[in-house]
């Protein structure tokens, strides 16, 4: 999320709206954002796990924890069509940010 924060100007210049979604509570999200020095985009909770099964899914087991949401990135155009999708194979894996930016730039 800090990479999106650091590149926020680029995303704004290209008309992209970043939204972070996690299964954490709003309180945990607030603490996370504060730890990163604040985020210029919204973090939305999926505490009841309604969104994750439809998009990225869950890892079966992460250090003994069950139901950990997979890291994923989607680019959705103004019509609601998914134009780019990346879902991590393993926890901690990062997307290819340059590939993501190319997908966003193609929307113009």
Say if residues 69 and 60 touch (Cβ distance below 8 Å).
no
CA distance 30 to 104: 27
Going by C-alpha positions, the residue among 6, 9, 2, 15 that lies closest to residue 104 is: 15
| Per-residue confidence (pLDDT) for residue 2, from 0 to 100 | 94
CA distance 46 to 89: 20
| Per-residue confidence (pLDDT) for residue 66, from 0 to 100 | 86
Mean pLDDT of the region 82-104: 95
> 40-76: per-residue pLDDT in tens?
999 999 999 999 999 898 988 888 988 889 999 999 9
Going by C-alpha positions, the residue among 79, 77, 81 that lies closest to residue 104 is: 77
Where along the chain do its domains lie? 1-48, 56-108
- DSSP 3-state assignment of 84? strand
- DSSP 3-state assignment of 67? coil
Distances (CA, A) of 49 to 25, 55, 101: 11, 11, 28
| Per-residue confidence (pLDDT) for residue 61, from 0 to 100 | 85
User: 108: pLDDT confidence band, cut at 50, 70 and 90?
Assistant: confident
> 3-42: per-residue pLDDT in tens?
999 999 999 999 999 999 999 999 999 999 999 999 999 9
Beta bridge partners of 72: 87
Largest CA distance in the chain: 44
């Amino acid at each position: 999320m800090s990479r999106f924060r650091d590149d926020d100007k680029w995303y704004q210049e290209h008309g992209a709206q970043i939204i972070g979604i996690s299964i954490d509570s709003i309180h945990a999200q607030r603490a996370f954002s504060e730890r990163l020095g604040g985020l210029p985009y919204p973090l939305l909770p999926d505490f009841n796990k309604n969104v994750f099964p439809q998009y990225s899914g869950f890892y079966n087991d992460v250090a003994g924890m069950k139901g950990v949401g997979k890291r994923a990135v989607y680019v959705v155009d103004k019509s609601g069509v998914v134009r780019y999708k990346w879902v991590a194979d393993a926890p901690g894996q990062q997307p290819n940010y340059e590939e993501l930016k190319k997908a966003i730039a193609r929307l113009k």
